[in-house]
Chain A
């Protein structure tokens, strides 16, 4: 760990918040992608078996 000195709390807070936000938007993107993809596959499956 580098010697962050008296600003250790601020710098750490900045990094923690930023990384959390990045991970958050990545997770959201992945989650939504999977959900829509699965729903689409379900519907297309239904079409194949019906049509």
Chain B
């Protein structure tokens, strides 16, 4: 075991070999958690006395919101690893994570807006958390757009990594700015499940399962996406060689 460190997975061949079996395992786990968690939450939990049946939306909103942020954090770490250690698998993993992050952000935005609708009377409110997710969505879009706009793989990896790092700082700044900006808004415009109080166990456990499900779903999709990116990179290298021959 002494020779196998985490970094050995930076080797594309070893990565492909390991994920070949890891992918279906994680996939099944993700599927089970999602199905169990959502069915449990949707069918077998009571309504909230204040929010009615809309509380059932937390089983979608909270996990997706968490993953939207975690996806970006993973991209940040992967970008740093690329810039420092030049592991291609890391750069490609960041690239693969972005579309998944976008999807999570969209789910968080949609469920957040729908959850708030009975409370606000409108389909959208510029409340701090939803607004921050909207800004995060824009950062994701920019990241993906930059990847697509650059032909050379290494250059794209470098530039998108720098963008991810700078973007992370500004995303954080935006969070504070939006809170500041929102101070004048009337009370009751914020989404919360009374985070300060304790969430009742009856909601908490299915929520945990759903969070696990979304997290595992993220892992599966990123592993699959990274495998695709590794193959795509090999593909374009071979095509380039064909063209020159």
- Direct contact, A vs B (beta carbon within 8 Å): yes
A→B interface (CB under 8 Å): 2-8, 10-11, 13-15, 17-18, 21-22, 24-26, 28-30, 32-33, 36-37, 39-40, 43-44, 46-47
Looking across the interface, which residue of chain B has its beta carbon closest to that of A35?
Answer: B228
Quick check: B225 and A29 within 8 Å, CB to CB?
yes
Quick check: B42 and A15 within 8 Å, CB to CB?
yes
Quick one: given A32-B228, A33-B224, are A7 and B103 in contact (CB under 8 Å)? no
A8 CA / B62 CA spacing, docked (Å): 20
A37 CA / B54 CA spacing, docked (Å): 43
Chain A residues with Cβ under 8 A from B34's Cβ?
22
Further 18 A-B residue pairs, CB within 8 A, beyond A25-B99, A43-B238, A44-B238: A7-B53, A10-B57, A11-B53, A14-B57, A15-B42, A18-B110, A21-B103, A21-B106, A22-B217, A25-B100, A29-B99, A29-B228, A32-B228, A33-B224, A37-B228, A39-B235, A40-B238, A43-B235
B→A interface (CB under 8 Å): 34, 38, 42-43, 47, 52-54, 56-57, 60-61, 64, 99-100, 103, 106-107, 110-111, 114-115, 117-118, 217, 221, 224-225, 227-228, 231-232, 234-235, 238-239, 242
Quick one: given A5-B47, A10-B118, A25-B100, are A33 and B56 in contact (CB under 8 Å)? no
Sample of 29 A–B contacts (CB below 8 Å): A7-B52, A8-B53, A10-B115, A10-B117, A11-B57, A14-B60, A14-B111, A17-B110, A17-B114, A18-B64, A22-B103, A22-B217, A24-B103, A25-B99, A25-B100, A25-B221, A28-B99, A29-B224, A29-B225, A33-B225, A33-B228, A36-B228, A36-B232, A37-B231, A40-B232, A43-B235, A43-B242, A44-B238, A47-B238
Chain B residues with Cβ under 8 A from A25's Cβ?
99-100, 103, 221
Which of A5, A26, A28 has the most C-beta atoms of chain B within 10 angstroms of its own C-beta? A26
Chain A residues with Cβ under 8 A from B117's Cβ?
10
Chain A residues with Cβ under 8 A from B242's Cβ?
43, 46
A38 CA / B227 CA spacing, docked (Å): 13
Chain B residues with Cβ under 8 A from A21's Cβ?
103, 106-107, 110
Chain A residues with Cβ under 8 A from B118's Cβ?
7, 10
A13 CA / B57 CA spacing, docked (Å): 10
A41 CA / B154 CA spacing, docked (Å): 24
B43, B103, B107: which contacts A2 (Cβ < 8 A)? B43
Chain A residues with Cβ under 8 A from B238's Cβ?
40, 43-44, 47
